[in-house]
Copies of this chain bind each other. A is one copy, B any other.
Amino acid sequence: MSIVVAGTIAFDSVKTPFGECERVLGGSAVYAALAASVFGPVKLVGVVGKDFTQEQFRVLGDKGIDTEGVTVGEGNTFFWRGEYGWDLSNPDTLATELNTLEGYQPRVPEAYRETPYVFLANIHPSVQMQVLEQMPRPRLVVCDTMNYWIENTPGELREVLKKVDVCLLNETEARMLTGEKNILKMARAVHAMGPPYAVIKKGEHGAVLSTREEVFCTPAFLLESIFDPTGAGDTFAGGFLGYLAARGKTDTASFKKAVVYGSVLATFAVEDFSVRRLAALGAADLEKRFAQFRQLTCF
């Protein structure tokens, strides 16, 4: 079954200790859509500028990503410039140019509205809400966010969370959102805000899935080198929901495997700048690494 992914479409300029790249394709919805496309059809909702070329549309189209929901606004595409230190955790943001993202009102095409699976990738919560308002009865809604919205638009974010089935957060964001320090307490506080499922991502230390009844933990795949961590969380989310949509089930066993597929897909995203590795990823690559992950973690 197909999924709708709504979020940012961006050009990123990124510097890591291993190299740098200028104005390459990025954005929360782009990483997520490419990751999800490994499992099946994806419909994209977002906004770009006049500088978004056919070449970039082709990267998406080649993966079967429907871009009817991508608005082409006046001006340039949202731009982010960031730099990572040796620890490859929080990057320094050197520039953010909202451009066409400023005042963006998402338009969900008629053909998207009955899509059962929805991923609200990281973007202003009012945009997330507008997307949901145009989708009358999704089967499963997954939502990501970031520290900026937790701090600056907490009321709007809380309203979105009331309508969401799965909330994805990294550990720092979960702490900010809930005020809790313990992972289990964080997850319960997220459930109390609405979402019956919470996924707390711990970066190189793996991820925790919490349902109201059960908790599941997975370590991260051990990588010898990480080239560029940009988009790893978005990729995780896209893989997570892409797997669930392809499987067509939302039982706990499927959720657990979805967390593992998300983790495995994220390991590809960080192997190269931008979406290069994701765009070149085949199902066989994914299944091979999934099998390695099972061997790495099962006893």
Binding site for B on A (CB under 8 A): 182-185, 202, 205-206, 208, 214-220, 222-225, 253, 256-257, 259-260, 294-299
Contacts and interface: CB of A to CB of B under 8 A. Distances in A.
30 contacts: A182-B224, A182-B225, A183-B222, A184-B222, A184-B223, A184-B224, A185-B224, A205-B205, A205-B206, A206-B217, A206-B219, A208-B219, A208-B222, A215-B222, A215-B296, A216-B296, A217-B219, A217-B220, A217-B222, A217-B297, A218-B219, A218-B297, A218-B299, A219-B219, A253-B299, A256-B299, A259-B299, A260-B299, A297-B297, A297-B298
A146 B225 CA distance: 27
Residue of A205, A220, A224, A295 most packed against chain B (CB within 10 A): A205
B297 A216 contact: yes
Nearest to A261: B299
A123 to B, nearest CB: 30
Contacts of A202: 205
Given A184-B224, A260-B299, A297-B298, 13 more contacts: A183-B222, A202-B205, A206-B206, A215-B222, A215-B296, A216-B299, A217-B220, A217-B296, A219-B219, A256-B299, A257-B299, A297-B297, A298-B299
A294 B208 CA distance: 14
Q: Which 8 pairs, one residue from A and one from B, show the smallest C-beta to C-beta distance? A: A217-B219, A205-B205, A256-B299, A219-B219, A184-B224, A257-B299, A217-B296, A184-B222
Nearest to A259: B299
Contacts of A225: 182
A215 B224 CA distance: 12
A218 B28 CA distance: 29
A206 B219 CA distance: 8
Contacts of A184: 222-224
A259 B202 CA distance: 21
A218 B222 CA distance: 11
Contacts of A206: 205-206, 217, 219
Contacts of A253: 299
A215 B298 CA distance: 11
A222 B202 CA distance: 13
Contacts of A294: 299
A31 B182 CA distance: 26
Contacts of A218: 219, 297, 299
A223 to B, nearest CB: 8
A220 B208 CA distance: 11
Contacts of A216: 296-297, 299
